[in-house]
């Protein structure tokens, strides 16, 4: 029995190592870095936030967790940082080093290849900056690395950029899905074959349990959003990230059919010299980002009218198969409908490609 348990633990450890390798390898290609830097909302908000916090950065020591190509580290140096440790686990660190040298910043930015959990810095830091957010905020679980860096390297009075994250949910109508389902009713008119019987099968295939990452238009949002979770990066613990949950209540704007929930996030940067903090939002009613939104399809659409209550609870937690992947469980009621539940996850395509 003990030998069997030992094999299980060893297999789990090997799976975690493989998952980490796949995760870091995915950031070794130029495409993902092009997508992130080309995301003007993302990159410019970080640049603005760093410059607005120049009083906290100037002459100070900064740790960039998951530095990628090094662009945030360079922003920090431009804001006057005395020293920036750019920690990056994948091979893109070599390109970061080249970029740093190309911008004549090598005297202030030190690129360190490795995970933040394994590198050894020569000093504590005044500022942690990181672009750690994944789809639906927590996919890829990089926030755990930021918290590790906070607990090990950040001075007691240090700052974290961004300092807060919030999660929102809202009911939506996806008209493309409805058009795809209706398609099977049009085949007979086109080709003389009645294929309306395919509609149920199509619904199961399309309105499945996947977290669909796609752009939701503001016109398809059916209520004001409800915030169901807030994470203070100065105090949240890794244990709390194992189950991020909260209740929600929305009221529909008017007559429509809810066929999905949309989950999105914001992150907030402190701005000492401004009355209002700086917010990076992935709301469908704000300019689009590369994160888009997480769409969770119901099994079937539900009709609503003005002020129909839509209530429930959302719970987000790491997948048992891959701790870097997020699952979202939603308990919900729409109007007089009885309580329903559905669990969603992002498909792990990498596992199918592995022996």
Are the CB atoms for 327 and 317 separated by under 8 Å?
A: yes
| Catalytic residue from among 131, 239, 251, 313 | 131
Distance of CA 99 to the CA centre of its chain: 26
Going from the C-alpha of 146 to that of each of 133, 136, 344, the distances in angstroms are: 11, 17, 26
Residue 110 clears pLDDT 70, i.e. is over it: yes
For 263-310, the pLDDT digits (tens) are 999 999 998 877 788 999 999 999 999 999 999 999 999 999 999 999
Q: What is the mean pLDDT of residues 140-144?
A: 90
Among the listed residues 310, 303, 305, the one whose alpha carbon sits nearest the alpha carbon of residue 251: 310
- The pLDDT assigned to 141 comes to 77
What is the tens place of the pLDDT at every residue in 15-65?
665 565 555 555 557 888 899 889 999 999 999 999 999 999 999 999 999
Q: Which H/E stretch holds residue 82?
A: none
pLDDT at 9: 46
Which of 29, 26, 105, 13 lies closest to 64 in space, CA to CA?
105
Instruction: Detail the DSSP E strand segments found in the chain.
Output: 61-65, 83-88, 109-113, 125-129, 154-161, 164-172, 212-214, 226-232, 244-251, 256-269, 278-281, 293-304, 309-318, 326-334, 340-345
3-state secondary structure 94-136: HHHHHHHHHCCCCCCEEEEECCCCCCCCCCCEEEEECCCCECC
Mean pLDDT calculated for residue range 84-108: 96
Judge whether 172 and 263 are in contact, CB under 8 Å: no
7 pLDDT band (50/70/90 cuts)?
Answer: low
Q: Which residue, 99, 56, 47, is CA-closest to 78?
A: 47
- Tell me, yes or no, if 131 is annotated catalytic: yes
Q: Residues 316-340: pLDDT tens digits?
A: 999 998 888 999 999 999 999 999 9
pLDDT of residue 17: 58
User: Model-level pTM?
Assistant: 0.89
pLDDT score of 167 more than 60: yes
**Alpha helix ranges (H) inside 26-83:** 30-38, 40-52, 54-57, 71-78
For tokens 């995915």, name the residue: 26
Domains belonging to the chain, first-starting first, are 1-131 (3.40.50.150), 166-345 (2.70.160.11)
For residue 180, pLDDT beyond 60: yes
Q: Compute how many other C-beta atoms are within 10 angstroms of the C-beta atom of residue 199.
A: 15
pLDDT at 113 over 80: yes
Specify the pLDDT at position 28: 56
The residue length of the chain stands at: 355
The yes-or-no answer on residue 55 being catalytic is no
Task: Say which of 106, 123, 140, 303 is annotated catalytic.
Answer: 140
pLDDT at 247 over 50: yes
Contact partners, residue 162, CB within 8 Å, separation at least 6: 49, 233, 267, 268, 269, 280
Give yes or no for residue 119 having a pLDDT over 70.
yes
């Amino acid at each position: 029995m003990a030998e069997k348990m030992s094999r299980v633990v060893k297999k789990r450890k090997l799976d975690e190592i493989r998952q980490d390798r796949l995760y870091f390898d995915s950031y070794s290609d130029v495409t993902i870095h092009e997508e992130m830097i080309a995301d003007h909302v993302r990159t410019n908000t970080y640049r603005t936030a760093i410059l607005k916090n120049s009083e906290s950065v100037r002459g100070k020591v900064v740790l960039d967790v998951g530095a990628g190509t090094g662009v945030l580290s360079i922003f920090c140096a431009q804001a006057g940082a005395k020293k920036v440790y750019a920690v990056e686990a994948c091979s893109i660190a070599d390109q970061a080093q080249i970029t740093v040298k190309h911008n004549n910043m090598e005297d202030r930015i030190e690129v360190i290849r490795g995970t933040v959990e394994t590198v050894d810095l020569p000093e504590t830091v005044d500022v942690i900056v990181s672009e750690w957010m994944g789809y639906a905020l927590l996919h890829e679980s990089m926030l755990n690395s930021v918290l590790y860096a906070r607990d090990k390297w950040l001075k007691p009075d240090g700052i974290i950029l961004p300092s807060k994250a919030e999660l929102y949910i809202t009911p939506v109508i996806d008209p493309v899905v409805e058009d795809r389902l209706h398609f099977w009713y049009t085949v007979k008119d086109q080709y003389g074959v009645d294929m309306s019987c395919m509609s149920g099968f199509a619904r199961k295939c399309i309105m499945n349990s996947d977290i669909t990452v796609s752009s939701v238009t503001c016109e398809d949002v059916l209520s004001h959003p409800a915030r169901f979770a807030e994470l203070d990066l100065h105090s949240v613990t890794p244990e709390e990230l194992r189950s991020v949950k909260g209740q929600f209540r929305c009221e529909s704007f008017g007559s429509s059919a809810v066929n999905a929930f949309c989950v999105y996030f914001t992150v907030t940067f402190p701005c000492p010299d401004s009355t209002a903090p700086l917010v990076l939002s992935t709301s469908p009613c704000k300019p689009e980002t590369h994160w888009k939104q997480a769409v969770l399809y119901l099994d079937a659409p539900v009709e609503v009218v003005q002020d129909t209550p839509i209530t429930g609870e959302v719970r987000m937690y790491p997948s048992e198969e891959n701790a870097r992947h997020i699952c979202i469980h939603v308990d919900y009621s729409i109007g007089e409908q009885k309580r329903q539940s559905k669990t969603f996850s992002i498909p792990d395509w990498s596992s199918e490609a592995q022996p």
